[in-house]
Amino acid sequence: MEIPDELVGRRVALRHRVGERDGRPLYTDAVGELAADGPGAVVVRTRRGPVRVDRSAVVAVRAVPPAPPRRAPLAAVTRLEGLCADAWPAQVERPLGEWRLRAASGYTGRANGALAIGDPGMPVAAALDEVRRFAREHGVEPRVQVPVGSPWDHAVAAQGWVLNVGHARGAEVSVLVAPAAEADPPAAGALEMPTAPSDEWWRLAVGGAPTPAQERVLAGAPATAFGLLRDRDGAVLGQVRATVLDDHVHISTLEVVPAARRRGHATTLLAAAGAWGRERGARWAVLQVALRNDGARALYDRLGYVEHHRYRYLVPPR
């Protein structure tokens, strides 16, 4: 049958002949992204691998909705959340069983809330009382960070805690992963990846000299690089931060100056951070982006990042 050109590149269900038995034709189906393979064949990229089909063997083909994303195992979510927390150290951290109480003078949600990824060693209601007590002690708002759909998400929500809709950066966050990439040389200028932040890096990151909390969060993790991209005249175009933990490189603080945006500099910085991590043993790059940041999510999608899981911030009801 004739395969419509508009189906190429889309997810399809394709039925095709694979032989015959007792004089009757046998059929099978392949579901996945459709690609052309010359004038006589197509390829369906299924989850089990590519399936090549002669066009003459196709008997039916139709577009189907995208496959639902696979949910990462809870153990993998817990491990990755722990690595990301290590890459973003709070000014003050206190264990509560397997939970982590954190405070950093209000600088970022990740460094100012309890990370709930395990057994707090007491009933959840009592643990949330400890979260409130710790927050009062350190002058921050009580907040719990929980992987979406996890047992801790359900347990905290069951105590009446609600989505932190007032969170400035967004209360729901996607954690994305991709293979640590090779860096392409910058189109113009120079790319630096020093292991200590310069005054220029701090100016772009926080607007000037850092507060003690900012310095702890951004410069307190070991094995961290503070990348700067410059033009040919030496002016700063953008920055990135990369921290290696086990087999991951955590990428954060990606920023391009407004006058230099939409020129591929963010892609260059991301690739440089991934390559820096890979040289130090990282196989995967991980970053976190608010769900409502559509522009950044579109960029990461184009670069091959996929969602590993999501987390959200819950706060006590008013």
Q: Residue 302: its pLDDT value, please?
A: 83
Domain 5-63 adopts which CATH fold? SH3 type barrels. (2.30.30)
pLDDT in tens, 9-39: 899 999 999 999 888 999 999 999 999 998 9
Place of tokens 């690595």: 83
Query: Cα–Cα distance between 241 and 294 in angstroms, integer?
Result: 21
pLDDT in tens, 176-215: 999 997 666 565 568 999 999 999 999 999 999 999 999 9
Query: Cα–Cα distance between 195 and 224 in angstroms, integer?
Result: 6
Domain ranges in the chain?
A: 5-63, 74-170, 181-282
**What does the radius of gyration of the chain's CA atoms come to, in whole angstroms?**
24
- E strand residue ranges, the chain: 11-21, 24-36, 41-46, 49-54, 58-63, 92-96, 99-103, 114-115, 144-147, 162-163, 172-179, 190-192, 224-230, 236-245, 248-256, 284-290, 306-315
Query: Cα–Cα distance between 118 and 271 in angstroms, integer?
Result: 33
Mean pLDDT lowest among 39-43, 70-74, 105-109, 137-141: 70-74
Whole-prediction pTM value? Answer: 0.79
**Contact in structure between 120 and 97 (CB atoms under 8 Å):** yes
pLDDT in tens, 245-279: 999 999 999 999 999 998 889 999 999 999 999 99
Give the residue among 230, 231, 222, 229 at the shortest CA–CA distance from 195. 222
Describe the crossing of helices 151-158 and 124-138 by its angle, rounded to 10 degrees: 80
Strands 144-147, 248-256: pairing kind:
unpaired
Q: What is the mean pLDDT of the chain?
A: 93
Quick one: average pLDDT of 66-88?
90
Edge-to-edge strand ranges of the sheet holding 41-46: 49-54, 41-46, 24-36, 11-21, 58-63
Biggest alpha carbon distance in the chain? 81
Q: Residue 183: its pLDDT value, please?
A: 61
Q: Residue 184: its pLDDT value, please?
A: 62
Residue 262, phi-psi category: left (phi > 0), alpha (psi -120 to 50), beta (remainder): left
Report the percent of the chain where pLDDT is more than 70.
97
181-282 has which CATH code?
Answer: 3.40.630.30
Query: Cα–Cα distance between 280 and 299 in angstroms, integer?
Result: 25
3-state secondary structure of 135: helix
